């Protein structure tokens, strides 16, 4: 046989094998595509700050000058988002991260690994509907506010400081323009959602307008990757009709603090969520009941009610009325309300027990943030007058049971600088008077009441809360360049009697006044000049704990002045500079004071 005939025969045989899907043989061999689609995206983030304190808390006396590289919010420096499609409607995804916290440990701290784990997603379409399965890794998901979700609020907040998850926008000024026009900024896909590890099954476009979902696995409360058999499950069945809907929802959790499963605790909650449009009015809400259990002691069911009625008067004066009532028996640390009536159980780790979302007692919260053991009414509206946009909120509420002899409040003016006083950890009962606790990027403080029962240590009188919020925004041009001015004012009080509005006198157990003024100027399409001024006053009366030396209650004053620049470096890269000066003191408690400055440099690159 000639060499040419031999080659022809080999090629013919190879074609036969390929046609019949046999993949054996060495030559010639045609590689088949393993994946239909494969992509890698992500970001690199460099952040460092330098802190100098003229006056410091006692635990920082020997660390007044501090240089920190890395993010103590525990966000990795490099993140790779990898996804691929095996066949049509089936894909997988994972996040690989690399992180060098630079805590001084050297090579062992060069951390790399999976961030959210490897997740598999699959979708199946049929004449009866579309079915999606998510499993493995950590998925961000939400059901309803009372069952499984995080609070979204009413978009009244400062945008001067950037969050670690904030994206780069196509135009630097669009961040500030969006906040002016819509009252919100761009958020990533996790906004309003909780982390869940396990399996999630969803059904959409089912017959007769039905849809639903089921989830089984672990939340942060269950310990995530912990081998202890803590678990949660829930789901919903929803019926859509016209532009309205109604759904039945549930979420349940059981946990064990130790691997021997000797101690059991958890909760159950079931609700009905609805939305109904009637002419110019929209009624939406969630009504249900919840309970908790410790070992075999199961509480009675308690009510959970949240109803919002909104209308857009002449399309220029939107108004929303919100009424709510959440029993102290309803406990769910995976819901959008704060647990103020019961202690969350602890997660074991190699460093010892660590509280997971513990109770925050009698907290003074922004409008829109719900807590259990409370009922109240909120009023929110938006008024636009030429270039001025004013968002106004009013709230009055009361506790249902007299459970706590404390009041909890926040320090939003210097929150990030104050949170940096405790790197990495989320400690409780710290500070010069052991009354501060850190949660992620902020710090809350507790004040003790004195009019309490000496046996039960519970207050004799119920606590009432009032809040007024004003967010005013203005946009104009200076030297033919856009600028934006924002003002956020919050005026709150807690007292032991019912009041129609915030109490501005010493009859209030505690008063908090927060003022934040921001100014942003578009120097050029690639440069934004950012400025901030904040002022806070926190005043308690003699119904609260006094200092042993001054014999006076809390009387706190805080200032914060900051400036900085946003600089676009390229299409996907930007530089963010922030310089903040802080000054804070309590004229009654001599050790509660600090002052100094913090400089932050952040470079973020998306690809």
Confirm whether 12 is domain-assigned: yes
Confirm whether 318 is domain-assigned: no
Confirm whether 5 is domain-assigned: yes
Q: By mean pLDDT, which of 61-65, 84-88, 214-218, 235-239 is the weakest?
A: 84-88
| Count of H-run helices and E-run strands, the chain | 3, 32
User: Per the structure block, which two tokens stand in for 396?
Assistant: 């009055």
H or E element in which residue 520 lies:
strand 510-524
Confirm whether 570 is domain-assigned: no
Spatial CA neighbour of 485 closest among 494, 471, 493, 475: 475
Residue 187: the pLDDT is 55
Counting residues of the chain whose pLDDT is more than 90, the rounded percentage is 53
3-state secondary structure (DSSP) of residue 5: helix
Residue 315: the pLDDT is 61
Q: Examine the pLDDT at 8 and tell me if it is beyond 50.
A: no
Decide if 320 contacts 308 (C-beta within 8 A). Answer: yes
Write phi, then psi, for 68 (nearest 5 degrees). Answer: -130, 130
Residue 511: the pLDDT is 98
Q: By mean pLDDT, which of 129-138, 232-241, 259-268, 382-391 is the weakest?
A: 259-268
User: What string of DSSP letters covers 90-151?
Assistant: EEEEEEEEEE---SS--GGG-EEEEEEEEEEEEEEEETTEEEEEEESS-EEE---TTTS---
Confirm whether 13 is domain-assigned: yes
Q: Examine the pLDDT at 423 and tell me if it is beyond 90.
A: no
Confirm whether 7 is domain-assigned: yes
> 194 versus 204: which is more confidently predicted?
204
304-313 pLDDT, tens digit each: 999 999 987 6
Q: How far is CA 154 from the centre of its chain?
A: 13
Instruction: Return left, alpha or beta for 394; rule: phi > 0 is left, psi -120 to 50 is alpha, else beta.
Output: beta
User: Per the structure block, which two tokens stand in for 298?
Assistant: 């199961």
Contacts of 92 (CB under 8 A, 6+ apart): 83, 84, 86, 118, 119, 120, 121
User: Per the structure block, which two tokens stand in for 55?
Assistant: 């006056």
Residue 324: the pLDDT is 97
Spatial CA neighbour of 190 closest among 230, 224, 160, 163: 163
122-171 pLDDT, tens digit each: 888 888 889 988 888 778 889 999 999 988 778 788 999 988 777 777 78
Confirm whether 10 is domain-assigned: yes
Q: Examine the pLDDT at 1 and tell me if it is beyond 80.
A: no
Q: By mean pLDDT, which of 173-182, 259-268, 366-375 is the weakest?
A: 259-268
Decide if 582 contacts 594 (C-beta within 8 A). Answer: yes
Q: Examine the pLDDT at 15 and tell me if it is beyond 70.
A: no
Confirm whether 152 is domain-assigned: no
- What is the chain's mean pLDDT, rounded? 85
573-601 pLDDT, tens digit each: 999 999 999 999 999 999 999 999 999 99
Torsion of CA 500, 545, 559, 515, to 10 degrees: -10
The number of distinct structural domains making up the chain is 1
> Residue written as tokens 């100094």?
596
3-state secondary structure (DSSP) of residue 9: helix
Decide if 189 contacts 167 (C-beta within 8 A). Answer: no
Spatial CA neighbour of 423 closest among 3, 38, 49, 20: 49
32-91 pLDDT, tens digit each: 556 667 888 888 888 999 999 999 999 999 999 999 887 766 777 888 888 887 777 777
Decide if 490 contacts 468 (C-beta within 8 A). Answer: yes
Domain range for 25 is 1-32
Counting residues of the chain whose pLDDT is more than 70, the rounded percentage is 84
Decide if 173 contacts 96 (C-beta within 8 A). Answer: no
Q: Examine the pLDDT at 192 and tell me if it is beyond 80.
A: no
pTM given for the model: 0.85
């Amino acid at each position: 046989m000639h060499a040419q005939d031999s080659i022809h025969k080999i090629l013919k045989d190879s074609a036969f094998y390929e046609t019949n899907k046999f993949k054996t043989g060495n030559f010639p061999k045609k590689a088949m595509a393993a994946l239909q689609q494969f992509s890698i995206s992500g970001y690199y983030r460099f952040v460092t700050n330098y802190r100098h304190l003229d006056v410091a808390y006692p635990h920082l006396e020997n660390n007044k000058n501090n240089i920190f590289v890395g993010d103590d919010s525990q966000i990795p420096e490099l993140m790779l988002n990898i996804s691929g499609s095996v066949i049509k409607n089936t894909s997988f995804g994972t996040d690989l991260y690399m992180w060098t916290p630079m805590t001084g440990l050297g090579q062992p701290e060069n951390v790399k690994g999976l961030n959210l784990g490897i997740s598999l997603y699959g979708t199946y379409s049929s004449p009866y509907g579309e079915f999606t399965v998510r499993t493995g890794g950590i998925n961000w998901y939400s059901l309803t506010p009372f069952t499984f979700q995080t609070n979204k609020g009413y978009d009244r907040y400062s945008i001067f400081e950037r969050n670690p998850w904030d994206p780069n926008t196509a135009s630097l000024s669009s961040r500030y323009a969006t906040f002016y026009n819509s009252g919100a900024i761009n958020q990533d896909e996790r906004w309003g959602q909780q982390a869940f590890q396990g399996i999630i099954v969803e059904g959409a476009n089912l017959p007769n307008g039905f849809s639903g979902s089921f989830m089984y696995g672990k939340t942060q409360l269950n310990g995530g990757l912990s081998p202890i058999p803590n678990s949660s499950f829930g789901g919903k069945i929803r019926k859509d009709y016209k532009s309205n809907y109604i759904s039945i929802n549930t979420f349940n959790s059981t946990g064990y603090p130790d691997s021997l499963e000797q101690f059991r605790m958890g909760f159950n909650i079931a609700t009905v969520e609805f939305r109904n449009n009637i002419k110019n009015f929209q009624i939406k809400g969630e009504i249900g009941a919840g309970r908790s259990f410790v070992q075999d002691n199961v509480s009675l069911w308690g009510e959970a009610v949240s109803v919002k009625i909104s209308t857009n008067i002449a399309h220029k004066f939107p108004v929303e009325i919100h009424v709510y009532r959440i029993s102290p028996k309803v406990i769910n640390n995976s819901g959008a309300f704060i647990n103020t009536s019961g202690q969350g159980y602890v997660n074991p780790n190699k460093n010892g027990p660590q509280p997971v979302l513990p109770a925050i007692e009698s907290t003074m919260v922004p409008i829109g943030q719900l807590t259990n053991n409370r009922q109240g009414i909120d009023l929110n509206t938006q008024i636009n007058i030429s270039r001025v946009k004013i968002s106004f909120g009013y709230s009055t509420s009361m506790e249902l049971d007299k459970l706590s002899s404390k009041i909890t409040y926040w320090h939003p003016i210097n929150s990030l600088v104050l949170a940096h006083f405790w790197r990495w950890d989320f400690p409780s009962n710290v500070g010069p008077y052991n009354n501060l606790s850190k949660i992620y990027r902020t710090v809350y403080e507790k004040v003790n009441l004195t009019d309490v029962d000496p046996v039960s240590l519970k207050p004799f009188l119920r606590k009432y809360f009032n809040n007024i919020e004003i967010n005013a925004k203005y946009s104009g041009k200076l030297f033919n360049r856009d600028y934006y001015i924002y003002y956020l004012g919050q005026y709150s009080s807690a007292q032991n009697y019912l009041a129609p509005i915030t109490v501005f006198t010493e009859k209030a157990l505690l008063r908090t006044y927060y003022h934040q003024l921001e100014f942003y100027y578009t120097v050029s399409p690639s440069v934004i000049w950012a400025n901030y001024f904040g002022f806070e006053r926190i005043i308690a009366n003699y119904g609260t704990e006094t200092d042993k030396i001054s014999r006076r209650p809390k009387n706190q004053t805080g200032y914060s002045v900051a400036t900085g620049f946003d600089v676009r470096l390229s299409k996907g890269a930007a530089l963010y500079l922030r310089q903040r000066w802080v000054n804070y003191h309590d004229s009654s408690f001599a050790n509660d004071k600090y002052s100094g400055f913090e400089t932050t440099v952040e470079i973020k690159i998306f690809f």
